[in-house]
Amino acid sequence: MGKEAHLQKNIGFFVATSLVVGTVIGSGIFMKPGIVISETGNSTYALWAWIIGGIITLASGLTIAEVSVKIPKTGGLYAYIEEVYGKFWGFLCGWVQTLIYGPAIMGALGLYFGSLVAALFGLSPESNTLIGIITILFLGFMNLLGTRYGGFIQNISTIGKLIPIILIAAFGIFQGDVPVLNMDSGVHQSFNMGAAILATLWAYDGFMNVGYMAGEMKNPAKTLPRAIISGIVIVIVAYLTVNIAMLHVLPARKIVELGPNAASSAATILFGKMGGNLLTIGILISIFGCLNGKILTFPRIPYAMAADGYLPAAKSMAYIHPKTKTPVGATIWQLIIAILMMVLTNPDRLSDIAIFSVFTFYVFSFAAVFKLRKQGLSQNLYKVPLYPLTPSLAIIGGLYILGNTLITKPVDALLSIVVTLIGIPVYLKLNANKQKQSLSKKAS
């Protein structure tokens, strides 16, 4: 193929790190503290839930960094699964990410963004979906102009989202006077650390998305693991400091009562009424940057699949613009699916379905480290520390999410499983067509 068919390698360490931070820090840090406290029963256990969730995420990031060094291809998780387990499992992974995970996450973030904008300006709830769709289309257009534009938005929004986090953390810790530890949640229910950790893991999700851009990095073998590890450490520190600050400003039971409005209320106490509004704007910037990161990275999955001929309408899905060097076809299809999901259901449902759908393949990718080392492919620049403990912890964390969702959200889990199974006959058909084409070429 001609030179115009290749993705441009212009992503460095800072953009890659900002992608990790930007795609992880979204709405979770502001929406989940009350849920975590209510599930654990008091503030000390809640902080431990955030720490354990962070440890599981860090173990996952350290593990996937070794896999990404060995397989530095565009497509991320899809490329890892295909390389280690073969075309069939790679296809199912990409199929699920293309039809469920990517669009569902984008749609959920778009709807969250729309609801906050509507509330900030006093618009009717019916406008939530329209605002979210307009936002997704705008970011999609900007990313189609080139990775430097999407990367620029990512850098600016990442810095922007960290400013309110830093302010509320610093002022809350030093000016608050409410006891932080051993504060009762005020909710009389059974202790459920598992559910609390699950809530934190939703807030931590997204660290793997930077791997989708490996084929567009200047030096993926060095850049990718450094970006994953640096980004996750920044997120863990941010989450812990914000939670400690909020607990130092608001009683634990008040955070539970306020739910997603707790952060804004804490800002109002610290900075006055305007502070609450500024924090809402900060949350909007956070979600905006997170959504941009998803739109920048997710289309690389169907692009990689279509380039291999393993998606319906592969020619259009694999189309790269000759000037901007961006995957136009894959991006447009992902936006269409995301908008359809936004119209059909709510953001909480989308997020539940998305997380379950992808974690089966997360577990496969963590286990790939063991298989790759048995094959003698470990002579690379980076190796996961504390092997085999670290990848084992990542696998256990992934299996926990799958088991918990099957028990607590059986309908959503079943929907994800059905869509995955539909991919089997699609793969068989596409694979048969490719074999026929190969035989016809040999015959000619």
Distance of CA 367 to the CA centre of its chain: 20
169 or 110: whose pLDDT is higher? 110
> What are the tens digits of pLDDT across the range 269-289?
888 878 777 777 877 887 887
CB 86: neighbour CB atoms within 10 A? 10
pLDDT for res 209:
62
Residue 184 bridge partners (DSSP)? 42
Backbone dihedral angles phi then psi of residue 14, each to the nearest 5 degrees: -65, -45
Least confident of 173-187, 235-249, 331-345: 173-187
Q: Which residue has the tokens 């955070």?
A: 255
Residue-wise pLDDT for 110-158, tens only, equals: 998 888 888 778 888 889 899 999 999 999 888 787 666 656 666 666 6
Is there a domain that residue 6 lies in?
A: no
**Which DSSP string do the residues of 322-373 spell out, in sequence order?**
TTT---HHHHHHHHHHHHHHHHHS-HHHHHHHHHHHHHHHHHHHHHHHHHHH
Q: Is residue 7 part of a domain?
A: no
Residue 5 is assigned to a structural domain of this protein: no
Q: Is the dihedral of CA 344, 77, 3, 441 positive or negative?
A: negative
pLDDT score recorded for residue 394: 93
Kindly state whether residue 443 falls inside one of the protein's structural domains: no
Question: In this predicted structure, what is the pLDDT of residue 377?
Answer: 52
Give residue 201's domain range. 13-436
The mean pLDDT value for 396-424 works out to 88
For residue 206, which of 71, 123, 105 has the smallest C-alpha distance?
105
In the chain, the number of structural domains is: 1
Q: What's this model's pTM, rounded to 2 decimal places?
A: 0.78
**pLDDT confidence band for 381 (50 / 70 / 90):** low
Chain centre to alpha carbon of residue 92: 19
Q: Is the pLDDT of residue 310 over 90?
A: no
Lowest mean per-residue pLDDT among 2-16, 75-89, 141-155, 241-255: 2-16
At 133 the pLDDT is: 95
Contact 206, 24 (CB under 8 A): yes
pLDDT for position 10? 64
Closest CA to 42 of 150, 179, 236: 179
Note the maximum CA span of the chain: 81
Encode pLDDT of 175-218 as tens digits.
Answer: 877 878 878 777 766 677 877 887 788 788 877 766 555 666 67
**The pLDDT of residue 380 is above 60:** no
Residue 332 in any domain: the answer is yes
pLDDT at residue 106, as a whole number: 92
Q: What mean pLDDT is predicted for residues 215-242?
A: 80
Answer whether 210's CB lies under 8 Å from 51's CB. no
The Cα–Cα gap between 164 and 152 comes to 20
Instruction: For 27-79, write each residue's pLDDT tens digit.
Output: 778 778 888 898 888 888 999 999 999 888 888 888 887 887 778 776 678 78
370 within 8 A of 390, measured Cβ to Cβ: no
Helix pair angle (43-70, 389-408), 10° resolution = 120
| Packing angle of the helix pair 273-297, 102-120 (nearest 10 deg) | 160
In this prediction, residue 160 has a pLDDT band, given cuts at 50, 70 and 90, of low
Per-residue model confidence (pLDDT) at position 1 = 38
Comparison of pLDDT for 305 and 335, the residue scoring more = 335
Q: Does a structural domain hold residue 444?
A: no
CA distances to 61, 185, 354, 367 from 290, rounded to whole Å, are 18, 30, 15, 28
Question: Is 427's pLDDT higher than 80?
Answer: yes
> CA dist 422 to 92, 181, 331, 339, 375, Å?
9, 49, 23, 22, 32
Residue 328 lies in a domain: yes
Contact at 8 Å (CB) between 11 and 222? no
Exposed (0-12), middle (13-18) or buried (19+): which is 20, by Cβ within 10 Å?
buried
Please check the confidence at residue 159 and state whether its pLDDT lies above 90: no
The CATH number that applies at residue 175 is 1.20.1740.10
Residue indicated by tokens 């969702």: 405
- For residue 140, being part of any structural domain is answered with yes
Q: DSSP 3-state helix, strand, coil percentages of the chain (rounded to 5)?
A: 80, 0, 20
Q: From CA 36, how far away is CA 39, in angstroms rounded?
A: 5
The Cα 14–Cα 155 span in angstroms is: 8
